[in-house]
A and B are shown apart, each in its own frame.
Chain A
Amino acid sequence: MATWVGVGSSRQPDSFQAGCEAAVKALDSMGQPYPDLILVFASTRFDQETLLAGIVSVTRGAPLVGCSTAGEVLAAGPRRRSVVVMAIRSDSLKVATGIGLRVSDDPRQAGQEVAAQVSKARLASPHAFLMFPDGLSANGAEVIRGAQDVLGLSFPIAGGSAADDFGFNRTFQYYQGEVYTNSVAGVLLAGPILVGIGARHGWKPLGKPRRVTKAAANIVREMDHRSAANLYETYFGSPSSPLKLESLTDMSIVYPLGMPIPGEEEYLLRNVLKVDRDGSVVYAGEMPQGAEVRLMMGSKARALEAAQRAAEQAALELAPRTARFGLVFSSCSRARLFGRMLDQEIAAIRQALGETTPLAGFYDYGEQAPLSAAGFRGRSYFHNETLVVVAVSAT
C-alpha cells in the first residue's frame, strides 16, 4: 500500500504550455506515470479550454476536477496568475468524481446531482466530499444542502467556490477534460484513509446584535427594520464624509457580518458582495430572515492565529498518523487582508501539516466546511473569509 502525491505549477504566458508544464512537473514530483486523481486550480487569465487541453495532453484519462481561482496555493507560498496541478496515485485512497449543472437555476438540485454521481460508484468507507461550486452564480449554502440531501446531514463537505481573479464576472469549473461554468464539480474521497478538516477565521463580534428583518437568499433588505446599508453607515459613516457604496465592499473584508451558530465557537461570516442603490446589501452567502447578526472585527494577527488553529485541528484529527498531502481553500478576502503577509498563512499551515507535505489549493469566493469538525459530527456550512484546511492521511 502506497500513496504518491506530486504538485506542479506554471506561470507560462501561453495557456497550453502552462498546462503542460504544470502537469509534467506534478507527475515528475509524484514519480508515477498514471495518476488516480488530478486537481487543477488556475487563474482565469488563461484560456481555460486550451489550459485544460495542455494538462490532459499529459495526464490523459485520469479523473480531473478543479476550478478557476483568485490566486493559487503551493507549499512554497501563494501564487497569482498561475496554474497549480496536484496529481495523486494511491493504493488506499479511492475517488469518485462528478459534476452538477445549472446551479443558478436550482442550486439544491445541482448539489444533489453532483453528490448522486459520486455516490453511484458505491465506494467503501467514504470520508469526505470536496466540491467546487461556481462562486458567483451559486447559492453555496443551497448547494451544500443539496449534497447533504444525498450524503447525509453530518457527512463532511469541504471545498472552495470558484473565483475569477476579482473580476466578479464569470468563474469556471473543471470536470475531466471539460470546462464548465455555472456548475459544481466534486470529488468523493474514500478508502482506508483519514481525512482531517479544520476551518477557522479568527474574527470577533463587536457592537449590538441586529436582526435581519427582511431578506431573501443572500440579499438583505432590512435589518432592525431599517435599510441594511444603514447598519454600515452607523458604524463607518461620519457626517463629514458619507459612506461611499464602492468602499463598503472593501470594508466588509475587515468587518464582515457574523451569525452565531448554536453550539459553535466561531460565528459564520458573511462578506458584502455589493450594495444596491435602494440600500439593500448583497452578501457572498445566504442570510436567512430572522437571523441575529453582529458586526465582526478581524486583524491580521487574529486571522493568522486562526490559520494556525485550523491547520492544527486538521492535523489533530489524523493523529497519530500524519498528513500525506493537504488542501487549502482560503477566502480571497483573506488574501487581500493579509496582502504582503499572505505567505505567513501558508507558512502556518506548513508548520502544522509538516514542512515537506505537498500542498495545493486556491483563494476562493466562499468556503465549505463542517464548523466543529471533531469526530465528523459537525454539519457542513457555507463560509466567507474562512480558511479551510483538509489534511489527508493515506498509507
Chain B
Amino acid sequence: MTSGMKLIIGASLLMLLLIAWSESALLRVAYGLFMVLIGGYLLTNLDALRRQMAGYQEQIDRVNLICDELDQNTKIIVQTDLELTRTQESLDKKIAGLYVLHELSREILAVRTVENLCRVVTEAVVTRLGFERSILCLVAADHPGRPRIAATSGFEPEEARKLNLSGLIEMVRNPVLNPGESLFFVPEEGQAPASRVGPAAGVRCFAVVPIALNNQPSGFLLTGNNPPYPRLETGDVELLSILASEVGVAAENLELYEALKRSHDELEERVKERTAELARANEELTRLNKMKSDFVSAVSHELRTPLTSIKGYASLVRAGKLGAVTKDQGERLEKIGRHTDYLSNLISDLLDIARIESGRVGMEIRKVDLARVADTVSDLLMPQLKEKNLTLKVEVPSKLPVLQADESRLQRVLINLLSNAIRFTPADGVITVSAAPGPEFLQINVIDTGLGIAPADLPKLFTEFFRADNPVNRERKGTGLGLTLVKRIVEAHGGKIWVNSVPGKGSTFSFTLPWQPPLKPAMGVP
C-alpha cells in the first residue's frame, strides 16, 4: 500500500509542476481528469485501508481477550495453588507437630523436676511448635486458686512479670479446671474478644487445655497467637491436648520420683548416721579390748614371777631338802605342784593370746618340715597316748612343697589339737593327723574317734574360756584357752580353722595354712 501511495503522491507532484509551467487549457482539463482518477483510486484504497485497520483492531481485541482469559486462568491457578499450599502447610504443621511431640516426650524423660518440665514444655511450644505465646500453670493442691508452678514463654520479660496468674486461674476455672474441658477461641475479623482470657494473656486467639494429675484437672496449658502468627485451628487444640496429657503423666511421675528421692535421701542420711554411731562404738570396743589385753598381759607377768617361786619352793619342800616330808604333806605338796603347773599354763596361754591380739610379737616365719614337726609332737605326747592305748596315725605326704610358717607356734597348734583329741577319745581309739596340699593352702586335719561335740556347742568352740559341758570336762580342769590360741595362731598365718563333728563318732578339726603367709601376718585381729 505504501509504495502505491508514494507513487500517487509522486505523480500528483509531477502534475502540479507541469501545471505551473504551462497554462494551456488542455493540460488543465487533463489535470482535472487526472485528479478525479486519483480521487477515485484513493477512495477505493481508503476503504481497503479501513477494512485492514478494522482487522488489526479485531486482532488486538482478540489478544486482549486472550490476555484477560489468561488472567482468569491465572486466578484459577493461583486459587488452586493457594489451596495446595494451605493443605501442604497444614499437613506440614501436623507432621512437624507430631515430630516435635515425639521428640519432646523423649526429652521429658530426662527432666528431673516439675519446674524444669514446665519450662521445657513452654519453650518447646513456642520455639518448636511455632506458637507465639504459652503459659503452663499447675495449681496448688491445698489452695486451688493459687499457682503452684508456672512457666511462660514468648513474653517480654516485662510482660511476664505483669502476668496475673491467679486471675487467669479464676478465668479458666470453668470449664478448664472444672470439669476439665478445653477452651478454644478464635475471633472473626473485627470481632471483639468474647473472653477475658485473651486480653489477660495478651493474645487474640488462644486455646487452653487442662492438665490432669491423678485424673484430677490440676493445671492448664494456654497457647495463643496474635497476627501475623497464624490463627489457631482445631488441629492445634488436639495436638496441645496430647501434649498436656503427656505433661500430666510426666509431672505425676516426677512427683512420685521426687517423693521417692526424698525418702531415699532421708534413708541414706539415717544409714550414714547409724554407720557413724557404729564406727564410734566399734572404736570404743577396740580400745576396751586393747585395754583388756594390756591388763591381762600385765597381770600375767606379775603373776608368773611369784608363781615360779611358789613352784620352786614347793618342789624343794617336797624333795625333802628342807626336812622330812610326811606322806600327807607330800600329797598336798604334789597338789600344789599340779595346780601351779595348771596356773602357769593358763598364764602362758593368756600371755600368748594377748600378745597375738595386741600384735606386739612378730612371728618367726621360716621353712618348716611338717613331717618333722609331727614327729616331735607325737614324741612329746607319747606318754599320754600310751596311757590310754591310743593309736596315732600320721599321714603326711613325703613330697610336700616348702611350707613357710612359725615352727614353734605350729607345734603348739598340733599339741593343743592332739591333746584335746587324746583327752576326748576313749581308750583303744585312733587319732589321725593328715595333710592335704592344695594350690594355695596346705590343709591339715586332726581326726579322732572320740565323744564328738554337741551341735549347739560348735559355734562357741573357739571363743575364750568356753568349755563344752561333757563328762570329760567335768572330771578334768582346762583353761578354755587352748582352741582360742589355736585359732589366733592359724589366723595370724592367714589361714582358717573349722570343725566337723558327729556326737558319739568323733570330731575332725581342720585348718589351712598358706604356703607363704602374707607379708604382714594378720596378727592382733581384734
Interfacial residues, chain A to chain B (CB-CB below 8 A): 11, 13, 15, 44-45, 47, 80-81, 166, 168, 206-208, 234-236, 238, 244-246, 249-251, 254-255, 295, 297, 299, 339-340
CB < 8 Å: which of B82, B127, B156 contacts A81?
B127
A206 to B79, CA, bound (A): 13
Known: A168-B228, A207-B75. 10 other contacts (CB 8 A): A13-B119, A80-B126, A166-B228, A166-B229, A234-B75, A235-B78, A251-B82, A255-B78, A297-B77, A340-B99
Q: Dominant SS at the B interface?
A: helix
The docked-state distance in angstroms from the alpha carbon of A244 to that of B227 is: 13
List, in ascending order, chain A residues with CB within 8 A of B231's CB.
246
* CB-nearest residue of chain A to B126: A81
Decide yes or no whether B157 CB sits under 8 A from chain A.
yes
**Chain-A contact segment, one of B88-96, B210-218, B421-429:** B88-96
Closest 6 CB pairs of A and B: A207-B74, A340-B96, A208-B71, A80-B127, A235-B78, A81-B127
20 chain-A/chain-B pairs, Cβ below 8 angstroms: A13-B119, A13-B123, A15-B157, A45-B154, A45-B156, A166-B132, A166-B229, A208-B67, A208-B68, A208-B70, A234-B71, A235-B78, A236-B78, A238-B79, A246-B227, A249-B228, A297-B77, A339-B92, A340-B92, A340-B95
Q: Which of B143-158 contact A (CB under 8 A)?
A: 154, 156-157
Q: B387 at the A/B interface (Cβ < 8 Å)?
A: no
User: Which residues on B sit within 8 Å (CB–CB) of A168?
Assistant: 228
In the bound complex, residues from chain A placing their C-beta under 8 Å from that of B81 are 254, 297, 299
Q: Cα distance A209–B11 when bound, in Å?
A: 48
Q: Are A295 and B89 in contact (CB under 8 A)?
A: no
A208 to B95, CA, bound (A): 37
Give the chain A neighbours of B132 by CB distance below 8 A: 166
Q: Does B469 contact A (CB under 8 A)?
A: no
Is the C-beta of B164 less than 8 angstroms from some C-beta in chain A? no
The proximity string for B residues 223-243 relative to A, scoring 1 for CB distances below 8 Å and 0 otherwise, is 000011111000000000000
CA distance in complex: A340, B82 (Å): 18
Known: A80-B127, A208-B67. Is A236-B82 also a contact (CB below 8 A)? Answer: yes
**How distant is A85 from chain B, measured CB to nearest CB, in Å?**
19
Closest chain-A Cβ to B100's Cβ sits at a distance in Å of 10
B166, CB-defined interface residue at 8 Å: no
A15–B71 alpha-carbon span in the complex (Å): 52
Chain B residues in 8 Å Cβ range of A297:
77-78, 81
Compute how far the CA of A107 lies from the CA of B128 in the bound complex, rounded to whole angstroms.
36
A222 CA to B81 CA in the complex, in Å? 26
The distance from the CB of A120 to the nearest CB of chain B, in whole angstroms, is 36
Number of B residues near A (Cβ < 8 Å) is 33
Instruction: Digitize B96-136: 1 where CB-to-A-CB distance is under 8 Å, 0 elsewhere.
Output: 10010000000000000000000100010011100010000
Closest to A168 in B: B228
Contact indicator B79/A236 (Cβ below 8 Å): yes
What 0/1 pattern do residues 38 to 77 of B give for CB contact below 8 A with A? 0000000000000000000000000000011011001101
Among A47, A251, A295, the residue within 8 A (CB) of B74 is A295
A254 touches B92 (CB 8 A): no
Does any Cβ of A come within 8 Å of B328's Cβ? no
Nearest chain B CB to A74 CB, angstrom units? 14
Contact A47 B82 (CB under 8 A): no
Residues of chain B with a CB closer than 8 A to A45's CB: 154, 156
Identify the closest chain B residue to A255 (Cβ): B78
Contact A254 B77 (CB under 8 A): no
Q: Are B92 and A235 in contact (CB under 8 A)?
A: no
B78 partner residues in chain A, CB cutoff 8 A: 206-207, 235-236, 255, 295, 297
A residues near B95, Cβ cutoff 8 Å: 340
Q: How far is the CA of A249 from the CA of B229 in the complex (A)?
A: 10
Please, which residues of chain A bring their CB within 8 A of the CB of B189? 244-246
Contact of B85 with A by CB under 8 A: yes
Q: Which residues of A contact B92 (CB under 8 A)?
A: 339-340
Nearest CB of chain B from residue A184's CB, rounded to whole Å: 24
Q: Separation in Å of the A245 CB from the closest CB of chain B? A: 7
CA distance in complex: A208, B82 (Å): 18
| A211 nearest CB across to chain B (Å) | 15
Contact A207 B70, CB 8 Å, known A45-B154, A236-B78, A250-B228: yes
Q: What chain B residues lie within 8 Å of A250 (beta carbons)?
A: 228, 230
Q: In the complex, A295→B81 CA distance in Å?
A: 13
For A81, the chain B residues whose CB sits under 8 A away are 123, 126-127
Contact with A along B299-323 (1 / 0, CB 8 A): 0000000000000000000000000
**Which of A47, A80, A234, A246 contacts B157 (CB under 8 A)?**
A47
Is there an interface contact between B75 and A235, defined as CB atoms closer than 8 Å?
yes
Once bound together, how far apart are the Cα atoms of A80 and B231, in whole Å? 20
**Complex-state Cα separation, A297 to B85, whole angstroms:** 11
Q: Give the distance to chain B from A370, nearest Cβ to Cβ, in Å.
A: 29
Docked complex Cα distance between A206 and B81 (Å): 12
A46 nearest in chain B by CB position: B157
In angstroms, Cα B362 to Cα A283, docked, is 101
Do A339 and B96 touch (CB < 8 A)?
Answer: yes
User: For the complex, what is the distance from the CA of A255 to the CA of B229, rounded to whole Å?
Assistant: 18
Q: B123 to chain A: which residues have CB within 8 Å?
A: 13, 81
Docked complex Cα distance between A295 and B75 (Å): 10
Q: Which one, A238, A245, A251, A339, contacts B93 given CB within 8 A?
A: A339
Q: Which residue of B lies closest to A339 (CB)?
A: B92
Chain B residues near A245 (CB-CB < 8 A): 189
CA distance A238 to B79 in the complex (A): 9
Q: With A80-B127, A339-B92 given, is the CB distance from A235 to B74 under 8 Å?
A: yes
**Chain A residues within an 8 Å CB radius of B89:** 339
Task: Please report the C-alpha to C-alpha distance between residue A255 and residue B74 in the assembled complex, in whole angstroms.
Answer: 12
Q: Are A206 and B74 in contact (CB under 8 A)?
A: yes
Residue of B nearest to A81 (CB): B127
Q: Measured between alpha carbons, how far is A47 from B82 in the docked complex, in Å?
A: 38
- Distance A13 CA – B155 CA, assembled complex (angstroms): 12
Q: How far is the CA of A47 from the CA of B159 in the complex (A)?
A: 12
Residues in B with CB closer than 8 Å to A15 are 157
Least Cβ distance of B411 to chain A in Å?
Answer: 74
Task: Kindly state the separation between the CA atoms of A81 and B92 in the bound complex, as whole angstroms.
Answer: 21
Residues of chain B within 8 A of A208, CB atoms compared: 67-68, 70-71, 74
- On chain B, the residues within 8 Å of A13 by CB distance are 119, 123
Q: In the assembled complex, how far is the CB of residue A342 from the closest CB belonging to chain B, in whole angstroms?
A: 11
| Bound CA–CA A235/B68 (angstroms) | 12
Once bound together, how far apart are the Cα atoms of A61 and B126, in whole Å?
34
CB proximity of B124 to chain A, nearest CB, Å = 11
Residue from B75, B79, B96 with most neighbouring chain A CB atoms (10 Å): B75
| Shortest distance between the CB of A224 and any CB in chain B (Å) | 12
**Residue on B with the closest CB to A44?**
B156
CA distance A236 to B119 in the complex (A): 41
- Whether A206 pairs with B82 at a CB distance below 8 angstroms is no
Bound Cα distance from A13 to B153, whole angstroms: 10
Cα distance A47–B230 in the bound complex, in angstroms: 25
Contacts of B70 in A (CB 8 A): 207-208
B157 surroundings in chain A (CB, below 8 A): 15, 47
Flag if B67 contacts A206 (CB, 8 Å): no
Residue of A nearest to B226 (CB): A167
Contacts of A166 in B (CB 8 A): 132, 228-229
How distant is the Cα of A186 from the Cα of B53 in the complex, in angstroms? Answer: 60
Q: How far is the CB of B491 from chain A (nearest CB, A)?
A: 60
Closest Cβ–Cβ distance, residue A91 to chain B (whole Å): 39
A107 to B227 CA separation, bound complex (whole angstroms)? 27
In the complex, what residue of chain B is closest to A273 when comparing beta carbons? B228
Q: A81-B127, A207-B71 are in contact. Are A249 and B227 (CB under 8 A)?
A: yes
User: Given the complex of chains A and B, what is the CA–CA distance between A297 and B231 in angstroms?
Assistant: 23
Least CB distance, B73 to chain A, in whole angstroms: 9
CA distance A255 to B75 in the complex (A): 12
CB neighbours (8 Å) of A254 from chain B are 81-82, 85
Measured CB to CB, the closest approach of chain A to B469, in angstroms, equals 79
Docked Cα-Cα span, A246 to B189, in Å, equals: 7
Bound: A295/B71 CA distance, A: 11
In the bound complex, CA of A31 to CA of B127 (Å): 31
Cα A249 to Cα B227 in complex, Å, equals 10
A244 to B81, CA, bound (A): 18
CB distance from A230 to the nearest CB of B (A): 13
